[in-house]
Amino acid sequence: MPASPIIEIKNLSAGYDNRTVLHDINLTIYERDFLGIIGPNGGGKTTLIKCILGLLKPTTGEILYHSCPPSPSEIANCQLSTVNCQLSMGYLPSTAAST
């Protein structure tokens, strides 16, 4: 049985203060995937994570969790596992330690 998508990102653009950081991002993450997000400072890694977690609203595009959009009214129509998946994600920002 093929793995099913857990998170689907379609045509996502996002940014801050009228500055686009992410433009037209498409990504599918499947069950049992291991994913590393790497890139230069200011490349949009944290912005992408914040969009996935619902901490930042994308300017365009959509993010689906188990094929369901994350809006509250639509989450109510999805399976409980979808809500649990979204609620079980976390974000721990880090900064470089001063020495």
Domain boundaries, the chain: 5-87
> What tokens does 76 get?
């109510």
pLDDT tens-place string over residues 89-98: 666 666 666 5
Q: What is the predicted pLDDT for the residue at 75?
A: 46
Q: Torsions phi, psi of 78, nearest 5?
A: -90, 170
DSSP 97: P
Distance CA 67, CA 82 (A): 9
Q: Which CATH class is domain 5-87?
A: alpha beta
pLDDT of residue 80: 43
The stretches in the chain having pLDDT less than 70 are 1-2, 70-99
Distance CA 77, CA 88 (A): 19
Residue 67: the pLDDT is 80
pLDDT attached to residue 32: 84
Q: Is the dihedral of CA 21, 23, 29, 33 positive or negative?
A: negative
